Amino acid sequence: MQLLRFFLFRKRLTKIVKSVIIYKIKRESVENLNMPAETKAGKAIGIVLWVAIFVMALIIFVFSNMGGAVSTDVSEPFIEKTNGFVTSHIVTDLDERPDIDKYILKEQITVFIRKSAHIFEYFLLGILLYWRFRLYGVDVHRAGLYSLCVSLIFAVADEYHQTFIDGRYGCLEDVLIDSAGIVAGILISAMITVIVLQKKKRKAKKELSAAI
């Protein structure tokens, strides 16, 4: 009888130990999002991210390298379309207003389009850098911090670069606007990471409870 009890106790203990080991393995894999950089999938994703980061940085550089007149010509079609939409659906009485109001509205739209482009460019750059660092196994907080620092350095360098371009200038305001895009991209990525991690951890705990 005692031998039977010992056998059952040992069997149950072995099951618990195995469950704990499985839980730890799953927890470690969750922390790495099941995408360790040394796997084939991890390497492939890493290459894609590096290419995307390079392309994004190149796009930012090309737009910043345009002279003032060229930059205006590139953005003008977007400004005209936005202006047409606003005057048709929002400010419908613009024709009845003084010409100065039309000028002010177009200038406001121009600023909105240009600053939105800044935010969107660095929003994408922040996201790409965050996931590149995450793929290296860096935790959420440090991945956010590293991607923020790298993106900010690039933003400052980009504004400095514009001081050498005819019709362009660098300013702190644009760096702050770029920072808003960077922070937004990193925060959204971090939130997604935390949500996924929490779901996987809860699933692992349920499996552990069921195994015990």
DSSP collapsed to 3 states, the chain:
CHHHHHHHHHHHHHHHHHHHHHHHHHHHHHHCCCCCCCCHHHHHHHHHHHHHHHHHHHHHHHHHHCCHHHHHHHHHHHHHHHHHHHHHHCCCCHHHCCHHHHHHHHHHHHHHHHHHHHHHHHHHHHHHHHHHHHHCCCCHHHHHHHHHHHHHHHHHHHHHHHCCCCCCCCCHHHHHHHHHHHHHHHHHHHHHHHHHHHHHHHHHHHHHHHHC
**pTM to 2 decimal places:** 0.76
Position 100 scores a pLDDT of: 81
Q: pLDDT per position in the chain (212 positions), as tens?
A: 554 454 444 556 566 555 555 555 455 544 445 455 556 777 888 899 999 999 999 999 998 888 877 887 788 887 888 877 887 778 777 777 777 877 788 888 888 888 898 899 999 999 999 999 998 888 899 999 999 999 999 999 999 999 988 888 888 889 999 999 999 999 999 999 989 888 877 777 676 666 55
Instruction: Give the pLDDT score at 5.
Output: 55
Query: What is the spatial distance between Cα 157 and Cα 165, in angstroms, rounded to a whole number?
Result: 13
Write down the pLDDT at residue 20.
52
pLDDT for 202 equals 77
Write the CB contacts of 171 (distance below 8 Å, at least 6 apart in sequence): 159
Position 196 scores a pLDDT of 86
pLDDT number for residue 14: 60
Which residues, 6+ apart, have CB-to-CB distance to 146 below 8 Å? Answer: 129, 133, 138
The pLDDT assigned to 30 comes to 46
Is the four-CA dihedral 136, 138, 143, 149 of positive or negative sign? negative
Whole-Å CA distances, 190 to 13, 50, 124, 146: 38, 19, 14, 13
Q: How far apart are CA 132 and CA 53, in angstroms?
A: 9
